[in-house]
């Protein structure tokens, strides 16, 4: 027999906020996070509308206009092949977001599943999974990503994979600690006692309750992934010419002509900094908003 | 007052002595010091007979001698002089070359070097044992036999006269190895060093550096001047420039790009000296003849017709180390293609719209759809590979091709070409002397360096004919036929642009002269440091 709460108590529960109200409260309460979110939204819009808003084709060489300073024709100047820097930045946002979101969503999700499974099963499963995670954690993020790209090759799917793998143990570690507390909750015991399968308990009762740390990890990873993709491309191990990518725009001629054509390095550098800054601002604010301990302070 | 002529002469002599003597003292080689230089690539193996990268020559050449060498003071890099050979004679019929070998030359293990070692080394080059590769054996097809009748005599007998034979024997790749070692293990030199050169091997730390120290028993008394050298492996060109700019490295023997040169000159002023030269190097595109649609000559010709070489030359020479539009020989050399002849080749005409229309027609005729995609593999060295790659892709895009570039790490690049693991790849030709017999054997059907794997008996026959031609005009005529077939009719390969060599170095590095080849002048026996 199901037990219902008394009717007077149900009426006293606070009404669920709409998305709009929640977003408004977030923007008003955490303006820096809102600025970060706005920049991310702009990046998305720019990436999606790239073919419509880009003034030039980002891969077409125009030797007549090589190394041109910013002007009306080319707002951010041109590079050593006469390619429009603004157009390459616009298309480069697609690469940054594709690799950034691909790697961080996959990394955080796989990490969450492994972290929750590790906490739920405990015992040997937890021991072996955590030691495996410790091995991966012993490598710095960039070193592991570099090694993986060197092994896998440097296509975009491989780049996503190489950035994603080092993120899994980091997500698993954080989410396991949250899941350990949830595992001891009476409703998990009740689900077990009711004879539900492990998969159902993990997916229905535990994973939804680690959403807050998951989202926080995800936003933190986004900035790191964009930075890693740019670093690998700058080192020649990521995206390859002539595909537009911010890190790639910083290497080669941008370095050689740094003194005579500084716009080649300044604008992609700013784009990387701004996007990472935006992801970090948004991630920090989201963490503050979702963490009940901080919320009550 | 009229000055006495004798007094004038005395004053003049004193002035000259005052001005010239310090200069002469300054130019007198000084012993000591360690030369630190940058190498942008690493040796795939230690065996020069089977490799073709400067990544081997630059750090390893100081450990070895060759039979002849190119005069290290000759800027044209075309004059052979003796190295282990003290002198030589050529028979009247030009079929027998007899070399007098130096006495008292010792390997680094203290054993005596004799003509037996030279013969064993050339045997390995000409007829490598099973399982051992020799990249340049085709260049010595004229050799009938080699002999070492006594320890100080080495004889080369030819099947037919070949005017390029002497310079061919001055190849910097033909390190002289120890006969006893080769007899025991023909693979020994792939992983070990044992030579007679001016510097002994100390250590090689992969990815970091190579160290050599002065050979105190070197046969050329008084040399080398340096106490040792350290080659540091840096693949990033920005880091190479930073190393020289910060005076942590003194020279990079390959070349810097035009903007890198300008940066160094601006930063170091008179502390830097720049040497420049036309460069006997060229990038060409190899297309795998066993892979569709590149087995179709119409497709290969279309890829060449798409290139606007003249516009590319003007633009790319500002940002990287390429310059001239050329055929199969370096412009300005005896066998270079006259511009009027060059323009008749596919992709060399000035009317680029017409060329590209023809390219599109050929692709359509060959059944290649618009937007056809393929991967272009390129070597992971910034200059000039990456800018040339970007340019090529843009040019091919203009005839409706969708090309993706894959940059492959430099030390893995040769193995990839050797495996034939590509559809279209950047290949390269660098000679140590501008000479058709040296530059063209890689296009023989049987060559190990024919990575595109074309089979063309017509070119093979023409190559033999030009090698035997004693009349220069006749030889030129045959070379034009080879060129027409190689670059136009069959389009086995696509030539891009001729390289231009720029070596800025710290002014304290003395005794080194630039040549058109970055494979020459790396023994370092003549190099010294003024500070």
Residue A14 lies in a domain: no
In angstroms, the separation between the Cα of residue A95 and the nearest Cα of chain B is: 15
Q: Assess if residue A16 is contained within a domain.
A: no
Tell me the per-residue pLDDT of B108-123, one tens digit each, with 9 for 90 and over.
999 999 999 999 999 9
Q: What is the 3-state secondary structure (H, E, C) of A156-196?
A: HHHHHHHHHHHHHHHHHHHHHHHHHHHHCCHHHHHHHHCCC
CA distance B77 to chain A (A): 30
Q: Is A241 on the interface with B (CB under 8 A)?
A: yes
Give A230-280 pLDDT, tens digit per residue.
999 998 888 889 999 999 999 878 888 888 899 999 999 999 999 999 999
Give the nearest chain A residue to B256 (CA atoms): A256
Q: Select the residue of A236, A241, A257 nearest B390 (Cβ to Cβ).
A: A241
Mean pLDDT of A207-213: 86
* List of chain B residues whose C-beta atoms are within 8 Å of the C-beta of residue A61: 390-391, 394
Under the banding of pLDDT at 50, 70 and 90, the label for residue A142 is: confident
CATH number of the domain encompassing residue A211: 1.10.3720.10
Name every chain A residue with its beta carbon within 8 A of the beta carbon of B387: 80-81, 252-253
Burial class (CB in 10 A: 0-12, 13-18, 19+), B4: exposed
Look at residue A104 and tell me if it is in a domain.
yes
Whether A262 contacts chain B with CB within 8 A: no
Mutate to test the interface with B, among A237, A252, A257 (most CBs of B within 10 A): A252
pLDDT at A294: 54
Q: What is the pLDDT of residue B382?
A: 82
- Least confidently predicted of B23-32, B212-221, B328-337: B23-32
Q: What pLDDT does B10 receive?
A: 55
Ramachandran assignment for A274, one of left (phi > 0), alpha (psi -120 to 50 degrees), beta (any other): alpha
How sure is the predictor about A292, in pLDDT bands with cuts at 50, 70 and 90?
A: low
* Residue A225: inside a domain: yes
pTM beyond 0.80: the answer is: no
Higher pLDDT: A55 or B25? It is A55
Whether the CB of B90 is below 8 Å from some CB of chain A: the reply is no
For residue B95, the model assigns a pLDDT of 94
| pLDDT over 70, % of chain A | 92
pLDDT of amino acid A21: 83
By mean pLDDT, which of A29-33, A90-94, A221-225, B98-102 is the weakest? A29-33
pLDDT of residue A15: 56
Question: pLDDT-based confidence at B332, cuts 50/70/90?
Answer: confident
CA-based nearest residue to B504, from B243, B232, B208 = B243
DSSP state of B112: B
pLDDT category at A140 given cuts 50, 70, 90 is: confident
Task: Give CA–CA dist A49/A91, Å, rounded.
Answer: 9
Instruction: Using an 8 Å CB-CB cutoff, list chain A residues near B405.
Output: 240-242
User: B349-370 burial by CB neighbour count: b if 16+ within 10 A, else e?
Assistant: beebeebbebbbebbeebebee
Q: What is the pLDDT of residue B47?
A: 97
pLDDT band at B19 (very low <50, low <70, confident <90, very high): very low
Q: What is the mean pLDDT of chain A?
A: 87
pLDDT tens digit string along B155-213? Answer: 999 999 888 899 899 999 999 999 999 999 999 999 999 999 999 999 999 999 999 99
- Residue B13 has a pLDDT of 52
Contacts of A240 in chain B (CB under 8 A): 404-407
Contact B519, B485 (CB under 8 A): no
Position B218 scores a pLDDT of 98
Tell me the residue length of chain A: 297
Q: Which residues are CB-neighbours of B264 under 8 A, at least 6 positions away? A: B241, B244, B245, B256, B272, B274, B504
DSSP, collapsed to helix, strand or coil, labels residue A67 as coil
pLDDT computed for residue B56 by the predictor: 97
Higher-scoring residue by pLDDT: B343, A154: B343
Q: For A12-21, A48-57, A117-126, B222-231, which range has the lowest pLDDT when averaged over its residues? A: A12-21
pLDDT at B371: 86
**How far is Cα A194 from Cα A192, in angstroms, rounded to an integer?**
5
Measured between beta carbons, which residues in chain B are less than 8 angstroms from residue A252? Answer: 237, 382, 386-387
| pLDDT beyond 60 at B369 | yes
Give domain status of residue A186, yes or no: yes
Q: Identify whether A68 is part of a domain.
A: no
In a domain, A78, yes or no: yes
Taking residue A58's Cβ as centre, other Cβ atoms within 10 Å add up to 22
- % chain B with pLDDT above 70: 95
Q: What is the pLDDT of residues B472-491, one digit of tens each?
A: 899 999 999 999 999 999 99
Inter-residue contact B105 to B159 (CB < 8 Å): no
Residue B278's CB: how many other CB atoms inside 10 A? 20
pLDDT class for B70, splitting at 50, 70, 90?
Answer: very high
pLDDT category of residue B330 using cuts at 50, 70 and 90: confident
Residue A2 in domain: no
| Tokens standing for residue A81 | 């092949």
Average pLDDT over residues B293-321: 95
Put simply, whether A157 touches B (Cβ < 8 Å) is: no
Q: Alpha-carbon Rg of chain B, whole angstroms?
A: 25
Helix (H, G, I), strand (E, B) or coil at B279: strand
Which pLDDT band holds residue B333 (cuts at 50, 70, 90)? confident
Residues 252-271 of B with CB under 8 A from A: 257, 259-260, 263, 266
pLDDT of res. A11: 45
What kind and span of H or E run contains A217?
Answer: helix A211-234
Residues B416-423 have a mean pLDDT of 94
Residue B17 in this model has a pLDDT that exceeds 60: no
- Percent pLDDT > 90 in chain B is 77
What Cα–Cα distance (Å) separates residue B196 from each residue in B88, B178, B185, B193?
Answer: 20, 9, 19, 10
- pLDDT at residue A219 is higher than 90: no
> β-strands B251-252, B34-39: how paired?
parallel
R_g (Cα) of chain A, nearest Å: 23
Which residues form the domain of A34? 30-49+73-290
Per-residue pLDDT at A297 exceeds 50: no
pLDDT at position B5: 52
User: How does strand B209-214 pair with strand B199-205?
Assistant: antiparallel
pLDDT greater than 50 at residue A107:
yes
pLDDT at B253: 97
Contact A240 B404 (CB under 8 A): yes
DSSP class of residue A78? B
Q: Which residues of A touch B421 (CB under 8 A)?
A: none
How far CA B391 is from CA of A75, B10, B193, B204, B474, in Å, comes to 23, 64, 40, 37, 37
- What pairs with residue B39 in β-bridges? B233
Judge whether A43 and A275 are in contact, CB under 8 Å.
yes
Q: Once rounded to an integer, what is the mean pLDDT over residues B311-339?
A: 90
Structural domain total, chain A = 1
- pLDDT value at position B6? 55
């Amino acid at each position: 027999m199901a037990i219902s709460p008394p009717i007077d108590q149900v009426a006293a529960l606070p009404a669920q906020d709409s998305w709009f109200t929640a977003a408004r409260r977030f923007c008003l309460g955490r303006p820096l996070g809102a600025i970060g979110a706005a920049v991310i939204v702009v990046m998305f819009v720019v990436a999606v509308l790239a073919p419509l808003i880009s003034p030039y084709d980002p891969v077409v060489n125009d030797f007549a206009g090589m190394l041109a300073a910013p002007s009306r024709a080319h707002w951010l100047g041109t590079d050593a092949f006469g390619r429009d820097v603004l157009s390459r930045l616009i298309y480069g946002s697609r690469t940054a977001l594709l690799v950034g979101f691909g790697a961080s969503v996959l990394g955080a999700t796989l990490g969450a599943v492994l972290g929750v499974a590790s906490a739920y099963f405990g015992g040997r499963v937890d021991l072996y999974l955590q030691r495996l995670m410790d091995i991966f954690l012993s490598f710095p993020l960039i070193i592991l990503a570099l090694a993986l790209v060197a092994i896998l090759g440097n296509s975009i799917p491989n780049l996503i994979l190489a950035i994603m793998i080092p993120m899994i143990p980091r997500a698993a570690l954080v989410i396991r600690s949250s899941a350990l507390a949830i595992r001891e909750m009476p409703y998990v015991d009740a689900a077990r006692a009711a004879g539900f399968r492990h998969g159902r308990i993990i997916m229905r009762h535990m994973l939804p309750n680690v959403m807050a740390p998951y989202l926080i990890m995800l936003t933190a990873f986004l900035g790191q992934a964009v930075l890693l993709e740019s670093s690998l491309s700058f080192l020649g191990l990521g995206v390859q010419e002539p595909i537009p990518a911010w890190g790639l725009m910083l290497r080669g001629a941008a370095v050689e002509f740094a003194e005579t054509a500084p716009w080649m390095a300044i604008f992609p550098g700013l784009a990387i900094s701004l996007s990472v800054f935006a992801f970090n601002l948004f991630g920090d604010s989201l963490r503050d908003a979702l963490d009940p301990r901080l919320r009550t302070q | 007052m009229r000055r006495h002529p004798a007094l004038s002469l005395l004053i003049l002599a004193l002035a000259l002595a005052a001005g010239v003597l310090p200069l002469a003292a300054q130019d007198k080689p000084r012993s000591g010091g360690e030369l630190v230089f940058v190498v942008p690539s690493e040796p795939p193996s230690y065996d020069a007979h089977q490799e073709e990268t400067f990544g081997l020559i630059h750090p390893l050449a100081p450990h070895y001698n060759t039979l002849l060498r190119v005069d290290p003071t000759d800027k044209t890099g075309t004059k052979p002089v003796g190295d282990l050979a003290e002198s030589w004679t050529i028979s009247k019929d030009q079929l027998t070359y007899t070399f007098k070998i130096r006495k008292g030359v010792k390997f680094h293990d203290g054993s005596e070097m004799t003509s037996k070692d030279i013969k064993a080394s050339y045997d390995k080059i000409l007829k490598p044992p099973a399982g051992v590769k020799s990249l340049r054996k085709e260049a010595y097809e004229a050799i009938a036999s080699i002999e070492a009748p006594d320890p100080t005599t080495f004889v080369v007998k030819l099947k037919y006269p070949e005017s390029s034979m002497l310079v061919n024997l001055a190849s910097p790749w033909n390190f002289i190895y120890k006969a006893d070692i080769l007899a025991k293990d023909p693979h020994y030199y792939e992983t070990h060093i044992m030579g007679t050169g001016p510097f002994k091997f100390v250590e090689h730390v992969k990815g970091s550096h190579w160290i050599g120290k002065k050979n105190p028993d070197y046969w050329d008394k008084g040399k080398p001047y340096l106490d040792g050298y350290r080659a540091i492996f840096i693949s990033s060109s920005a880091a190479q420039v930073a190393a020289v700019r910060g005076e942590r490295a003194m020279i990079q023997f390959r070349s810097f790009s035009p903007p890198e040169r300008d940066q160094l000159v601006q930063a170091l002023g008179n502390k830097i000296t720049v040497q420049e030269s036309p460069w006997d190097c060229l990038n060409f595109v190899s297309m795998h003849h066993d892979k569709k649609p590149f087995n179709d000559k119409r497709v290969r010709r279309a890829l060449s017709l798409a290139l606007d070489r003249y516009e590319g030359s003007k633009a790319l020479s500002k940002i990287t180390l390429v310059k001239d539009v050329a055929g199969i020989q370096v412009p300005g050399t005896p066998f270079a293609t006259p511009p009027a002849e060059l323009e008749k080749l596919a992709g060399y005409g000035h009317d680029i719209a017409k060329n590209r229309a023809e390219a599109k027609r050929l692709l359509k005729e060959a059944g290649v759809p618009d937007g056809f995609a393929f991967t272009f593999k390129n070597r992971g060295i910034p200059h000039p590979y990456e800018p040339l790659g970007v340019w090529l892709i843009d040019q091919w895009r203009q005839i409706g091709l969708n090309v993706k570039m894959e940059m492959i790490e430099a030390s893995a690049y040769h193995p990839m070409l050797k495996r034939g693991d590509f559809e279209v790849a950047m290949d390269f030709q660098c000679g140590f002397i501008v000479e058709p017999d040296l530059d063209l054997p890689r296009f023989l059907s049987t060559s190990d360096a024919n990575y595109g794997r074309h089979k063309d008996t017509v070119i093979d026959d023409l190559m033999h004919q030009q090698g035997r031609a004693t009349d220069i005009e006749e030889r030129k005529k045959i070379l034009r036929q080879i060129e027409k077939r190689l670059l136009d009719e069959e389009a086995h390969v696509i030539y891009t642009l001729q390289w231009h060599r720029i070596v800025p170095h710290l002014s304290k590095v003395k005794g080194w002269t630039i040549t058109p080849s970055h494979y020459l002048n790396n023994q370092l026996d003549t190099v010294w440091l003024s500070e």
